[in-house]
Amino acid sequence: MKGFKSYVPVIISILLSFIIVLIMGLTNVKNPNKIEELYNVYIDGELIGSVRSKSKLEKYINSEQKNLKEEYNVDKIYVPNGIDIEKSYTYKGKILSEKEAYKKIKENKSFTIKGYVITISNKEDKEEKHIYSLDKSYFDKAVKNVLYTFENKDNVTKYRKNNQDEIKTTGSTIENIYIDQDISIKESFISTDEEIITNVQDMTKYLLFGSLNEGEEYTVKFGDTIETVAFNNKLSTEEFLIVNPEFTSKNNLLSPGQKVSIALISPVLRMIVEKNVVEDVEKPFETEEKEDSSLASGTEKVEVEGVNGLQRVTEKIQYVNGEELPAVITNVEVLKEPVKKVVVKGTKKSYSSTGRVYSGGGSPAVTSGIWGWPSISPYKITSTFGYRWGKLHKGIDISGCGYGSPIYSAGNGVVVETVSNCPNQGSYSSRCGGGYGNMVWVKNDVGNIWMVYGHLTSDVLVSTGQRVTKGQHIGYMGNSGSSTGTHLHFGTYLGGQDGTGTPFNPFSIY
Ligand SMILES: [Zn+2]
């Protein structure tokens, strides 16, 4: 009880101040020298003045911004982000009317509406993208639309309902569908400075093209086909069909004068579809060479014609926005064994022997037989030569043979460059070896053709200056550099390496 007495003066003074505040509130004195309840208005932390009523200022803003309400079809406009309106009893600055405060705010900032911020971040590089949407349902619906541009809607529905047809001979089933990114959706006040998406159609467009800008158009000329128009405008034919949904196949005819879209696809999402695929592919025959001393040297004859066999190959394939990533072959069943080709070569010395001479001439159309295949069989071509998302894929991707499977030189030539110091495990963001990782560049003897074998393991078996022959083991299939799975990037160029030479479709030499 001794302590209580010493608190008495403190308690009394607290009570007194309450009474003073109470009296002031009741009497509502208009004397500016006296303390009254005000709201200080701050723009980015800087006081611009005070208003008497926060709610009146908010109402004023809401009533003045009719145009914004109409534009976004919303019934309320809010103060900009960065504006703070704080209750205060201390008289500091100028007292502003609602109109004056509104004007000052408007000069400095854009007003806000209630909406959603959709944040999409990549798992690999942590890059973040923000999308502003009036309603969050637009995003969910647009994601479905995007999926349907890359994957057949019926297949997706069957997968969702768990009633896909079982593969009896050949065919494919969807095993998984997901977005390989972190996505968060938060309600927020969004500045009307931002591009705010107000319908599903725009959201779909944004997710596919990365912008709402109108893409370019092209006027069809005589002789154009979907394939040539697409390639000349940096689109794959699949992308052309996505941006021009009125066409259903690359074989559809174009008519001169017709306008088509050549908008570049730049998908915001990484939409992954995983499939189990069973297909029958040829099993190539092998060639056996026999020597015959009764035949003149340089001559050869085919004793037995080779016949390809057939094998049923089961693969797991991941598609990113419709594009195949390196496949993994999980099973091979031989349906029909190939028949070995037997060639008899003469060894009898003759002065008139000429052998085979290749005319060269700078054209990549080289006779078959000169070139070997760089991987073992079976294999899967998961990315062909051509444009993807506005970038030229300067070669083909061969996968399915497995990590560490041998890579062979496709022709005779000289090794002009090797890279073997990249980590074996690929990373999407790693630019080791200019993206090709561990690699071998060969300048071939014929046709002025240069070849690159990319994404190898670091165990590269050849070195610069070394001669290689067709079929020579030069390295191992790997996943180094900018690679999304075990595969060989096989590129063919005319006249030089990447940068100086002209890339062409490797299939044109086979
Ligand atoms: Zn590639």
Do residues 462 and 414 make contact, with C-beta atoms less than 8 angstroms apart? no
Tell me what the mean pLDDT of segment 223-229 comes to. Answer: 94
Tell how far the Cα of 469 is from the centroid of ligand 1, in angstroms: 23
Tell how far the Cα of 437 is from the centroid of ligand 1, in angstroms: 11
Distances in Å between the alpha carbon of 26 and those of 22, 31, 36, 96?
A: 6, 14, 11, 23
Contacts of 434 (CB under 8 A, 6+ apart): 481, 498
Which pLDDT does position 428 carry in this prediction? 60
Decide which of 207 and 89 is more confident.
Answer: 207
CATH number, domain 363-510: 2.70.70.10
Question: Comparing 118-261 with 274-355, is the CATH topology the same?
Answer: no
Closest CA to 123 of 355, 428, 379: 428
CB half-sphere exposure, 69, CA atoms < 13 A = 10
Tell me what the mean pLDDT of segment 126-138 comes to. Answer: 92
Tell how far the Cα of 396 is from the centroid of ligand 1, in angstroms: 6
Tell me what the mean pLDDT of segment 3-23 comes to. Answer: 59
| Three-class secondary structure of residue 51 per DSSP | strand
Selecting from 3.40.50.300, 3.90.1650.10, 3.50.50.60, 3.10.350.10, what CATH number does the domain 118-261 have?
3.10.350.10
Distance CA 505, CA 393 (A): 10
Tell how far the Cα of 451 is from the centroid of ligand 1, in angstroms: 13
Q: Measure the CA angle with vertex 361, ends 357 and 365; round to 5°.
A: 85
Tell how far the Cα of 484 is from the centroid of ligand 1, in angstroms: 10
Tell how far the Cα of 64 is from the centroid of ligand 1, in angstroms: 57
* Diameter of the chain measured on Cα atoms: 131
Tell how far the Cα of 87 is from the centroid of ligand 1, in angstroms: 62
Tell how far the Cα of 385 is from the centroid of ligand 1, in angstroms: 8
Which pLDDT does position 223 carry in this prediction? 93
Distance CA 147, CA 163 (A): 19
pLDDT tens for residues 303-312? 888 888 899 9
Decide which of 498 and 426 is more confident.
Answer: 498
Do residues 176 and 273 make contact, with C-beta atoms less than 8 angstroms apart? yes
Closest CA to 340 of 375, 304, 300, 368: 304
Which pLDDT does position 293 carry in this prediction? 82
Which pLDDT does position 126 carry in this prediction? 79
Contacts of 197 (CB under 8 A, 6+ apart): 131, 132, 133, 134, 138, 203, 206, 212
Distance CA 191, CA 430 (A): 37
Tell how far the Cα of 397 is from the centroid of ligand 1, in angstroms: 5
Decide which of 423 and 16 is more confident.
Answer: 423
Tell how far the Cα of 453 is from the centroid of ligand 1, in angstroms: 10
Q: Are strands 309-320 and 287-296 parallel, antiparallel or unpaired?
A: unpaired
Which pLDDT does position 413 carry in this prediction? 96
Instruction: Map out the domains of the chain as residue ranges.
Output: 24-109, 118-261, 274-355, 363-510
Tell how far the Cα of 503 is from the centroid of ligand 1, in angstroms: 12
| Count of other CB atoms within 10 angstroms of residue 455 | 33
Q: Which pairs from 208-212 meet CB under 8 Å and 24+ separation?
A: 208/146, 208/149, 208/242, 208/265, 208/266, 208/267, 208/268, 209/263, 209/264, 209/265, 209/266, 210/266, 210/267, 210/268, 211/266
Distance CA 438, CA 456 (A): 5
Tell how far the Cα of 272 is from the centroid of ligand 1, in angstroms: 18
CATH superfamily assigned to domain 274-355:
Resuscitation-promoting factor rpfb. (2.20.230.10)
Tell how far the Cα of 225 is from the centroid of ligand 1, in angstroms: 26
Alpha helices in 288-395 (DSSP H): none
| Three-class secondary structure of residue 326 per DSSP | coil
Residue 18's pLDDT band (boundaries 50, 70, 90)?
A: low
| Three-class secondary structure of residue 70 per DSSP | helix
Q: Which two three-digit tokens encode residue 85?
A: 């309106």
Tell how far the Cα of 270 is from the centroid of ligand 1, in angstroms: 18
Tell how far the Cα of 395 is from the centroid of ligand 1, in angstroms: 6
Which pLDDT does position 184 carry in this prediction? 95
Do residues 3 and 65 make contact, with C-beta atoms less than 8 angstroms apart? no
Tell how far the Cα of 399 is from the centroid of ligand 1, in angstroms: 10
Intra-chain end-to-end CA distance of the chain, in Å: 104
Distance CA 138, CA 202 (A): 9
Q: Angle at which helices 200-209 and 137-150 pack, to 10 degrees?
A: 50
Tell how far the Cα of 230 is from the centroid of ligand 1, in angstroms: 20
Closest CA to 435 of 510, 366, 359, 499: 499
Say which amino acid occupies 112: T
pLDDT tens for residues 355-375? 222 222 222 223 347 888 999
Which pLDDT does position 27 carry in this prediction? 46
Which region among 200-214, 352-366, 423-437 has the lowest average model confidence (pLDDT)? 352-366
Q: Are strands 438-444 and 449-456 parallel, antiparallel or unpaired?
A: antiparallel
Tell how far the Cα of 213 is from the centroid of ligand 1, in angstroms: 30
CA gyration radius for the chain? Answer: 35
The answer on pLDDT for 351 being more than 50 is: no
Tell how far the Cα of 417 is from the centroid of ligand 1, in angstroms: 18
Which residues are paired to 397 by β-bridges?
383, 489
Tell how far the Cα of 408 is from the centroid of ligand 1, in angstroms: 17
Distance CA 316, CA 325 (A): 10
- φ and ψ of 138, to 5 deg: -60, -40
Distance CA 351, CA 252 (A): 57
Tell how far the Cα of 366 is from the centroid of ligand 1, in angstroms: 22
Which region among 192-206, 333-347, 402-416 has the lowest average model confidence (pLDDT)? 333-347
Which pLDDT does position 400 carry in this prediction? 87
Tell how far the Cα of 482 is from the centroid of ligand 1, in angstroms: 9
Tell how far the Cα of 363 is from the centroid of ligand 1, in angstroms: 23
Closest CA to 454 of 425, 494, 412, 483: 483
The answer on pLDDT for 32 being more than 70 is: no
Tell how far the Cα of 470 is from the centroid of ligand 1, in angstroms: 21
Ion ligand 1: residue ranges with CB closer than 5 A: 397, 489
pTM: 0.71
Say which amino acid occupies 264: L
